[in-house]
Amino acid sequence: MSERPASKNTAPLADRMRPKNFEDFFGQEEVVGAGRLLRKLVESDDVSSLIFWGPPGVGKTTLAGIVAEKSHAHFVQISAVMSGKEELRRVVAEAKEKLAEGRRTVLFIDEIHRWNKAQQDALLPYVEKGTLILIGATTENPSFEIIGALLSRSRVFILKSLAPADITAIIRRALADKDSGLGNLNIKIDDQVIEILAELAGGDARVALNGLELAVKAQVKGGKSSIKITKEDIKEALQKTHLIFDKKGEEFYNLISALHKSMRGSDPDAALYWLARMLEGGADPLYVARRVLRFASEDIGMANGEAMIQANAAYDACHKIGYPECTVHLAQAVVYCAKSKKSNLLYTAYGAAAEDARATSHLGVPLHLRNAPTKFMKEIGYGKDYKYSPEFDYKEDQEYLPKELRGKKYLG
């Protein structure tokens, strides 16, 4: 069961600033906005079991607390990492007592994907009977990690990474709040610095608030009455809790360039290092996977067609299981591409073809290559004299380019 909450003075800023209502819950309008399904279920007191799926720091735990509060339910929080069947039995016994008193129990299981099938099976009867209202939070795809019977009895809501604008609003709220936030401190921080913090947080409000709090504490310990937070303070604070780089800055593009060039130069060790720099620094694995997939055709292409299959499989793994589990799949694709034989023939050939395509877009398709689905089209020559390749053992003498480009070779 969840530990006794820390006092207001000792609890981390991110915990103190948890919203208590939907109006202060930023960044998930598609889920909790006025008129949306979850909001209507809560307001009509018709909440059943729920699964919140989304990346870290987007408000899954906070939202569960708001749902329980608005439903006037007894709220119990456990972590799937630390808890098992024994704790579940204690929660169920308590829930039955509350139910006899006319009060429902919301059981919030953080990281529910970490419970195995047997543990989830043990929970199922109490969800079915209504002894418990389950709210599960997961960073993994519920389709793969939650048993079908439990999933079919729950509504799944997808929470997205917070946009920089949402995190900016959360930071400003923390700076202004005199009760739970930092509003009683004389903090001076420029709009640009707040925007940098929001960007570097990588869609995670907890990272942003932890970084802000650490930067402020470093200044408070210096005995300063007026606290000036700079860009350097923010970056130093985040480096202590979260390896970072500015995703809009030059360093981000330097890193992806280094990764690309290391693979192109057939140096798997360097490629692996730059991959780790990006992923450990908070880069979106799907972004990296897309770049590797592009590389597989741009710099390897027909020299080794297997490279694209490897890269595509890595992208699929990133999509299915997410970070950090997908790091090894990306590592496999990056090392494979770095060690593979290289050719940029497809890249240069397409570039030449694209240049001709733009210059000759006025040229029509030769008549013999056009389909003739109607009698009229046949009468005006569509498809006339076309040679069906299988009938000529694929050795037919036939032109496939407009006459103005006949003999053109893009592939050498």
- Domain assignment of residue 193, given as a range: 164-241
Residue that terminates a domain, selected from 194, 210, 241: 241
Residue that terminates a domain, selected from 133, 158, 183: 158
> Do residues 33 and 122 share a domain?
yes
* Residue 188 CA: distances (Å) to CA of 63, 193, 238, 314: 31, 10, 18, 45
Establish if 11 belongs to a structural domain. Answer: no
Establish if 179 belongs to a structural domain. Answer: yes
Q: What is the CATH number of the domain that holds 197?
A: 1.10.8.60
The whole-model pTM stands at: 0.57
Q: Which of 317, 345, 336 minimizes the C-alpha distance to 144?
A: 317
> Do residues 35 and 153 share a domain?
yes
Residue that terminates a domain, selected from 287, 319, 339: 339
Specify burial of residue 232 (Cβ count, 10 A radius: 0-12, 13-18, 19+).
Answer: exposed
Establish if 153 belongs to a structural domain. Answer: yes
pLDDT of residue 182: 93
> Do residues 43 and 134 share a domain?
yes
Phi-psi region for residue 399, left (φ > 0), alpha (ψ -120 to 50) or beta?
beta
Report d(CA 58, CA 68) in Å as an integer: 18
> Do residues 369 and 318 share a domain?
no
> Do residues 145 and 191 share a domain?
no
> Do residues 110 and 129 share a domain?
yes
> Do residues 146 and 90 share a domain?
yes
> Do residues 275 and 376 share a domain?
no
Report d(CA 166, CA 244) in Å as an integer: 19
Strands (E), 234-318: none
Q: Tens digit of pLDDT per residue, the chain (412 long)?
A: 444 344 455 789 999 999 988 988 988 999 988 889 999 998 888 888 999 998 888 999 999 999 988 888 899 998 887 777 788 889 999 999 999 999 999 999 998 988 889 889 999 999 999 999 999 999 888 888 899 999 999 999 999 888 899 999 999 999 999 999 999 998 999 999 999 899 888 788 998 999 999 999 888 766 666 889 998 888 888 875 554 555 555 567 788 899 999 999 999 999 999 999 888 877 888 889 999 999 999 999 999 999 999 999 999 999 888 888 899 999 999 999 999 999 999 999 999 999 999 999 898 999 999 998 888 888 889 999 999 999 999 999 999 999 999 989 999 7
Establish if 20 belongs to a structural domain. Answer: no
Overall number of domains in the chain:
4
Would the CA dihedral through 294, 259, 139, 7 be positive or negative? negative
> Do residues 32 and 142 share a domain?
yes
Would the CA dihedral through 32, 36, 38, 40 be positive or negative? positive
Establish if 19 belongs to a structural domain. Answer: no
